[in-house]
Structure 1
Amino acid sequence: MGNSTFVFVVFILVYLGMIFGRLPRLALDRTGIVVLGAIALLASGHASLEGGRSGIDVSTILLLFGFMVISAQFRLGGFYSEVSRRIAGLPVSPGALLGAVILVSGVLSALLTNDVVCLAMTPVLGRGCIRRGLNPLPFFLALACAANIGSALTLIGNPQNMLIGQYLNLSFGGYLVFAALPTAVSLLFLQGIVLLLFRGKFLLPMAAKEEPERPFNAWQTAKGGIILCTVVLLFLFTSLPRDLVALGAAGVLLLSRTMASRRTLDTVDWQLLALFLGLFVVNGAFEAAGGLEIMKDGLSRLGMSLASPSRLYGVTTVLSNLVSNVPAVMLLLPLVRDIPGAGYILAVSSTFAGNLLIVGSIANIIVAGEAERMGIPFDWKGHARVGVPVTLASLATGLACMVLI
């Protein structure tokens, strides 16, 4: 088997595994499949970890790790639980409560990774809704969709935006200005769609199952807040490398007299980091073997120019819901790196596309899993009932805003 053929076979198997979530007769999840593919390429000599041949974008890995530590600080300090308790206890109507969930989830996900926001907020919010006799499902759907939409606002809101920002060296402030209007309008659409679809269905008496919640530590939360604000200001007003700023922030947070570094590092999503590293190796070998040129030629013959914003939106949406948005972005980035403005479009569209189906975003899967654990049905049909119109409205808003700007 020729060098290119072997690489292409591994690449196809890895992405098929990403689509179906498993390989026949093997107990591998998506991360395991990607890591196994990278090992096969490295062991066979078709990829290397030496110098720049690995394909690994170290700056993206460092940025992602740094923000995982910052998010861990807020989680271990009980910030997310405290916010969720306060939202659930607001003396307002269900519609106003829904708006509060959307606003808080969107804002937090723009500054901290959306996956962590959903993981920490879902169970506390759910128990709060049940205590009030409210149906948790519309609030869970709003939480997941708002987390995805809100994370599109910045280049640190989710892993794929971090990758795009680092890979294309995008301006933090410039992207923020570009994404602000479509993100805000999309959150308003989300509010309207959930209110319409769940009209008359917000009340649902259930027995609340009490579970211990993480206590709130004001000092640890304030410490995380100061560091996060400093990092964002440095991103906005200096040209310092974002990866080193985030890494330095993580180092400061690990210097603690009361919060053990082991607890913080245990909260880091090592599975996601392994997924990134494996995909970098697999995609790097695929590019070196000429795979990208074959893809470009194929798209050109089909008349599918990614230079067209609408076609880039369409391809990103489909691919993000086949293999999830992080692998989709990794695959598309080298194809659009020379197209002006494509990075902004790819960041917004891949993030908005995550709401279409449950598998489109890890945040959706997290909320669905937590809901099922609490005995609240959250299947793909129920999600699609909200996710499809929200995604279509978001993508349309993004295209319209881009034309107007």
Structure 2
Amino acid sequence: MELDWLVIGVFVVVYLGMALGRWPGLAIDRTGVAIIGAIVLVVSGAVHGQAAFRFIDFPTIAVLFTLMVIAAQFAASGFFEWIGTGIAHGRVSQKVLLFHVVLTGGVLAALLTNDVVVWAMTPVLVQGLLRRGLNPRPYVIALACAANAGSAATVIGNPQNLLIGEYGGLGFWPFLLACGIPAAISLMVVYGVILKAPFGIGSAAAQTPAEDDAGRSAILKREPLAKALAATVALVIVFSVAEDRATWALAIAGALLLSRRLATRQMLSMVDWHLLLLFAGLFVVTGALGARPALIPGVVLAPLSGGPYGTEALAAVALAGSNTIGNVPLVVFLLSVTGDWTDMALYSLALFSTLSGNFLIVGSVANIIAVERARALGVTIGFVDYAKIGVPVTVLSLLAAYAWIRLVYPPFAAMIGT
């Protein structure tokens, strides 16, 4: 009984840290909070060492690691800089420029994860826009929102989708079929809302910088790029036909690390080890609670994975949870402590938890990355500035996703036999 109370206490304290971003008075971020929580459970005996390893979903971590290695390969090829400078320096109107940012951010995030795309493209985009004399704020917010919206389309678009896909064994193409349309609608919503934002988006073309501007050209290394593209295609194939995804994904990562030009240290330095450790810690903390079903208020959680009000409840929980504890901790928690999920419920969870991330700056790691990377270059995006765009984008996107899930997708899926 004492250990049961310890499990509950650790869970509450850890998820409070997820909501606050740290423990007050300590220089510990979310990753540190999750790891320390897991350590307390193991040291106290509430979770035995072998059980802790069983709680960790190593296939999910393996695939996420592979995605990071592929993204590192793209970064090493100069791909993100090439795309970013191409957008920022194009001789087009501001409306067309905004369209390019939204479309590019959304499509790339669907294949390379939202956090990676935002981290790589934000500085290049901001620098190019400043050279053109344009206000970068709406474009940075557009990139973050579009990356979140676009990532909702695929099972490899973001960490929570990957976790959901591994939990339910969801294939790449069925996932895209279920989530691609609402993700595309969300991208259109992002574009439309930002056009009306009070940030000065206009139709007049701005002068591009001089040809000798240091940021004008970006070197694209073709051989590393070819390997990155091949690895991306291979991963899509793995998620389309393979049963043991983790093993094949690690094989792809290993093939990329076999390089004559890119040092292993360089590639691995671009892997987000903090995120992987965050996953591991949360798996242990939520696994300990899930192993004690008597401690879980099942009457409250059961409707989330099914039932007549499951979609509405899930949308509400996703919006609240994604903007407090974060969408990744929320998904880890829900999948660990609730019962069997139908494929439809999993698709709904993926859509709602991802699209809810656009609500506030704190709703998604991609938002935080975009704002911090822009601030480092002297462009400040305030909490209210972001909310003026993020709130309407999220509300309209969630309404579209809800209508799709409840009204359109079920007969559509039945018609095509999925």
TM score, norm. by length of structure 2: 0.90
What is the Cα deviation at residue 211 of structure 1? 7.8
2:33 and 2:388 mapped to 1: Cα distance? 31
- 1:324 paired with 2:326, answer yes
Between the aligned partners of 1:371 and 1:229, the Cα distance in structure 2 is 31
Residue type of the partner of 1:310?
E
Bigger mean CA deviation after superposition, 115-124 or 218-227? 218-227
TM-score by length of 1: 0.93
Q: Which moved more, 1:307-316 or 1:66-75?
A: 307-316
Helix, strand or coil at the partner of 2:196: helix
Matched ranges for 1:130-141 at <5 A: 130-141=130-141
**Residue 62 of structure 2 corresponds to which residue in structure 1?**
62
Q: CA deviation at 1:234?
A: 3.3
The 2-side partners of 1:161 and 1:338 are apart by: 14
Aligned letter for 1:197? A
Shift of 1:24: 2.7
CA RMSD for the aligned pairs?
2.4
Report the counterpart of residue 383 of structure 2 in structure 1. 380
Secondary structure, counterpart of 1:50 in structure 2: helix
Offset of residue 298 of structure 1:
4.0
Alignment of 1:6-405 (within 5 A): 6-50=6-50, 54-198=54-198, 200-201=200-201, 215-236=219-240, 238-290=241-293, 294-299=296-301, 307=307, 308-334=310-336, 335=338, 337-402=340-405, 403-405=407-409
Change (3 A) 1:362 1:214: farther
Q: 1:101 to 1:119 in 2, by over 3 A?
A: same
* 2:60 aligned partner, one-letter code: T
Query: How many angstroms apart in 2 are the aligned matches of 1:299 and 1:253?
Result: 42
Give how far 1:297 is off: 2.9
Check conservation: 2:152, 2:161, Cα contact below 8 A.
yes
Give per-residue Cα distances to partners, 1:27-56, cap 9 Å, x unaligned.
Answer: 111111111000100111111341676411
How far the C-alpha of 1:295 sits from its partner, in A, is 2.5
Q: Partners in 1 of 2:24 and 2:199 — Cα distance?
A: 43
Q: Which runs of 5+ in 1 are unaligned?
A: none
SS of residue paired to 1:354? helix
Contact 1:68 1:268 (8 Å CA) reproduced = yes
Aligned partners of 2:174, 2:358: CA distance in 1, in Å?
Answer: 25
Amino acid at match of 1:135: N
- Structure-2 change in CA distance of 1:299 and 1:222 (3 Å): closer
SS at match of 1:341: helix
Q: How far did 1:213 drift?
A: 9.3
- How far off is 1:201 after superposition? 4.5
Q: Distance in 2 between matches of 1:167 and 1:47?
A: 22
- Change in CA separation of 1:53 and 1:227 when aligned onto 2, cut-off 3 Å: closer
| Alignment CA distance shift 1:92-1:53 (3 Å) | closer
CA contact (8 A) 2:66 2:252 kept: yes
Deviation at 1:25, TM superposition (A): 2.3
Structure 2: 5+ residue stretches without partners: 410-418
The structure-2 alpha-carbon separation of the partners of 1:336 and 1:187, relative to structure 1 and needing over 3 Å to count, comes to farther
Q: Residue type of the partner of 1:330?
A: V
Greater shift in the superposed pair: 105-114 or 332-341: 332-341
Identity, % of aligned positions: 44
**Closer, same or farther in 2 for the Cα pair 1:114/1:141, shift >3 Å?**
same
Cα distance between partner residues in 2 of 1:76 and 1:367: 20
1:187 maps to a residue whose letter is L
Residue correspondences, number: 400
Displacement after TM superposition at 1:9 (Å): 0.5
